[in-house]
């Protein structure tokens, strides 16, 4: 679909399953980033460390997604598309969202 007004704001999603691997008890992280309504970054991989809670698992996934957002912003800048607003990161875990907003609990 062509939009005359230009690009939509980039948005990224992050999710994790806590201790999904039965042998190693490591969690799986997944992320997906959209630009102009289409996916531009997506990944799914096992986390490097064993998370002790769902909050920690979701926070690790969110931090990996934040790295992808930094890369996406750099790519957009290099291609001449300047996006000054922060990229929205959507997380489905309330405690991980609170931890990301207020890191004094770490």
**Predicted local distance difference test score (pLDDT) of residue 54:** 94
Q: Structurally, how many domains does the chain consist of?
A: 1
List the CATH number of the domain containing 67.
Answer: 3.30.420.10
Domain range for 85 is 11-105
Domain membership flag for residue 2: no
101 assigned to some structural domain: yes
Confidence band, pLDDT 50/70/90 cuts, at residue 102: confident
**Is 6 domain-assigned?**
no
Percentage of the chain beyond pLDDT 90 is 58
- The reported pLDDT for the residue numbered 82 is 76
Q: What is the pTM of this model?
A: 0.84
In the predicted structure, residue 43 carries a pLDDT above the cut 90: yes
Query: Quick one: pLDDT at residue 1?
Result: 53
pLDDT in tens, 66-76: 999 999 889 88
Asked if the model's pLDDT at residue 2 lies above 60, the reply is no
- Alpha carbons 87 and 10: distance in angstroms, whole number: 6
> Once rounded to an integer, what is the mean pLDDT over residues 95-103?
86
Mean pLDDT of 49-72: 94
């Amino acid at each position: 679909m062509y939009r005359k007004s230009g690009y939509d704001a980039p948005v990224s999603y992050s999710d994790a399953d806590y201790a999904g691997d039965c042998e190693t008890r490591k969690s799986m992280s997944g992320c997906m980033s959209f630009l102009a309504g289409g996916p531009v970054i997506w990944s799914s991989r096992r986390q490097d460390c064993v998370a002790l809670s769902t909050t920690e698992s979701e926070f690790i996934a969110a931090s990996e997604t934040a790295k992808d957002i930094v890369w996406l912003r750099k790519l957009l800048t290099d291609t001449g598309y300047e996006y000054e607003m922060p990229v929205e990161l959507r997380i489905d875990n309330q405690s991980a969202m609170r931890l990301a907003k207020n890191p004094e609990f770490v």
